[in-house]
Amino acid sequence: MKDQDVPINLTADTGSIRNSHLVLTHSVAEQHLLGERLRCLAQGMVDLLDSTLSSRADDVRRWAAEPVLLDCLSHPATPAAARRLERIVADRTVYLDLWIVNADGIIVATGCSGRQPGIVGSDVSTHSWFREAIACRAGAYTVSDIADTTRFGDITTLPFAAPIYAPGTTTEPRGVIALFFDWQTQSETLLHRVRQRCGGTTARCLLLDRTHRVIAASDRHDPAETVPLPHSPAATGWYLDSDGIMIGYARSTSHPGFPGLNWCGVIAQRPHGDNRIH
């Protein structure tokens, strides 16, 4: 018996292909829109961070030239000098403290004497921020790595430091001014605001250092956690990772007088935004 030809419904098959193509196109368009949105939010986040850190660099350079700092290095701080240091810190709530350190690495004055009684006289000569700052030219500054500082109750800080020179001299610094930026509080505030704009708990917002190590997160994170980013010259971008999570990222850029720290802002969210990212 002859095999019978089976009729093919070309119209139905063509319609099915067309519908599948439309669904796929719609899905790709949705992914593109989400990726661009996360990229833009990450860019805004890192721009705000850069602006904040640029202001901290301006602070430490400007205050390094204040005459009261030299007064503290020449002899024990007078009541007027102590009040001036306290006022500097009080006017900038982003700082945990301000230290004046002599050329030997000994703390001679602070802006918050009540926070850490007995700290004057402590030796900080082995700290990287001191070694780097004391080697800087006049008008320069240094930013250390983020670290937990036992002197501040294990609060994560970001130290800014600059050399203190006598007026008209550029050969040998008299000491160092160190500002301890409250990284923990300020980064948490920034990430919380950005996360709310992303839709709350379904997004994860991160800040990475130059090695892509997580230095702040909108949730709890492993101190050793890293986030791989594309090896691309582009300052911003987005991609869908192997777990189906959309990643938007932006690298820090330079500001006048502040070259940036080569950090990154990252925002992760599932395309449908209905599952939390851990």
pLDDT tens per residue, range 136-165: 999 999 999 887 777 787 789 999 999 999
* Rounded percentage of the chain residues whose pLDDT exceeds 90: 51
CA–CA separation, 200 vs 194, rounded Å? 9
If you average pLDDT over residues 52-71, what whole number do you get?
Answer: 92
CA–CA separation, 225 vs 268, rounded Å? 15
| Beta-carbon count within 10 A of 229 CB | 15
Give the pLDDT of residue 265.
96
For residue range 6-59, what is the model confidence (pLDDT) as tens digits?
454 444 455 554 544 444 454 778 888 999 999 999 999 999 999 999 999 999
Assign domain 34-54+185-269 to a CATH class.
Answer: alpha beta
Sign of CA dihedral 255, 259, 180, 62: negative
CB 246 within 8 A of CB 271: yes
Instruction: Delimit the CATH 3.30.450.20 region(s) of the chain.
Output: 34-54+185-269, 56-181
Compute the chain's Rg from CA coordinates: 27
* Rounded percentage of the chain residues whose pLDDT exceeds 70: 87
CA–CA separation, 31 vs 240, rounded Å? 8
pTM over 0.75: yes
CATH, range 56-181: 3.30.450.20
Classify burial at 193, counting beta carbons within 10 Å of its beta carbon; exposed 0-12, middle 13-18, buried 19 or more.
middle
CB 45 within 8 A of CB 263: no
Give the pLDDT of residue 91.
87
Give the pLDDT of residue 59.
95
Q: Which residue has the higher pLDDT, 270 or 204?
A: 204
Lowest-confidence pick of 35-39, 193-197, 213-217: 193-197
- Which of the four pLDDT bands, split at 50, 70 and 90, describes residue 271? confident
Classify burial at 58, counting beta carbons within 10 Å of its beta carbon; exposed 0-12, middle 13-18, buried 19 or more.
middle
